[in-house]
Structure 1
């Protein structure tokens, strides 16, 4: 059909409308090759609706990768994004999405749904609220130091449990430090101390990869340094989606 030759994400939409997205799934890689971010996001929302088993029945040779997603906050938008990014590289996503804010249980209990999914990749998405949400009111840098120490020790234990239990790779990320958190401290000395404590904790998280071969840690600081928005205030406030 003509739309299948356009080479744009609009063709994915056309395949969906014609009910041919499953039968023509092998074309998706080419169609998304030059898609811009908006097109990719739209295509991902459509592709995420597909029944992966149905696609594999139609195309037994289709390469697939299973990804389990857990973390702190609302992560429903991550599955369509992963679906589209993998599809543009010729891979079909088999997702498992954990319940809201269940990451500690999912990674600590060998009987959890995350381990039952036996995923190739387990993504545990962390954000500043992982720490800020446990601070007392009012709080000082000493409180931040305590919670950061608790969280990094917890991540160390969870990474060890994952490595001993699962066959796949665990992916963590560093914690972006939001400006609004620093702004709650009124003096520059306290702000400097909090920044130092936060960066030291992120360094400890990054160094966990030395002790856990099944662990990968993505550093979000370079992305933030390029001007990529870490969060969106309205989604943060109303949807508890702490990372954009």
Structure 2
């Protein structure tokens, strides 16, 4: 049960360590009503008690608002910390530590991919697979391992032999000679022959950037070394 008030543990305020029986008696007294009022008025009472359970042996009660907020903890220090910190939730803290432990075991490539998907949830995810992953056509599918990722723009065109090739915008700008030979329409190729180098370069850059590039998260997939068997000696 989370606390709903805005009262902080004041400097010098103390808690009372009691027995389980005394704590149970306090809760019973708090639950009693006389003339429409609780028997216990708000008195800023903070109690802790050690019980007999193994998993959560410490119980704390915060009655500073007369709501008798109660939580169970593994250690006495956690119980006191809860009384001293208004926004502390032991269950949220447990999940936070759990996630931190899991993230510590994740590979950097996985963390980067998760960060990119969180920052760009609207983008499609496409894979660029190393040819070593698929060596022949004896199987319908192959396992690979994510080794990196990035956000880039992609476009697919035909190669000289009629195959399709997907380019990134950066690749197209760097390998513009090959890109123009494979993908530029013939009228553009003829026009480029009549231009000097500077004007030709400018025209090619403009044409490349006007193509219908699609922004995406690119995942680089390589041979799955992490699950591959150890080589025989």
The TM-score range, normalised by the shorter chain, is under 0.3
- TM-score normalised by structure 2 residue count: 0.24
* Structure richer in helix, relative to its length: 1
* Structure richer in strand, relative to its length: 2
- TM-score normalised by structure 1 residue count: 0.23
Q: Which has the larger radius of gyration?
A: 2
